[in-house]
Amino acid sequence: MPSRPLTQLTLALLKPDLAANSAHVGKVFAHIQQNEFKVLAHKHLLWSKSQAEAFYGEHRGKFFFERLCGYMTSGHFYALILEKPNAITDWRALIGPTHPPRARINAPDTLRSLYGMTDTRNSFHGSDAAETAKNEIQFFFPEFDWEKWNQDQQRST
């Protein structure tokens, strides 16, 4: 029996501007499924200012920090753990460039092109590296059992 390829995890956020429209959320979940991501866990969240500041702490002092934290506390959003081979790269490719108006020109089939509004209200987040994904997933899903997930990965090879 051939072994299945090792999968990877990434954190995906469906930000408040997107989460405010349930029809768009449904369409995004369809895109996730069509692109063969497995949703291992998801949460519907509403952040406090301190939670947003903790997650985006690396950006403290940058010109967009307060605007970003204000945006992320403006309404409910979704956090998801996505799994598939090359999950980080594939999710970032699916969501597209950070700036939605540029995405509409350079990557018109991406989710940010379809749903994003501005560089801050860009509808999505995706981890940029494996270590970042692990840290971000732990932030949102402290109950996620990394050891079990790793063991399952080893058994499947």
Residues annotated as part of the active site: 125
Does 106 count as an annotated binding residue?
no
Nearest to 141 by CA among 32, 42, 23: 42
Does 98 count as an annotated binding residue?
yes
Name the token pair of 133: 């994904």
Does 112 count as an annotated binding residue?
yes
Does 92 count as an annotated binding residue?
yes
Rounded Cα distance between 81 and 147, Å, is 15
Rounded Cα distance between 74 and 31, Å, is 25
Does 121 count as an annotated binding residue?
no
Q: Which residues are annotated as a binding site?
A: 15, 64, 92, 98, 112, 122
- Which residues carry a binding-site annotation for ATP? 15, 64, 92, 98, 112, 122
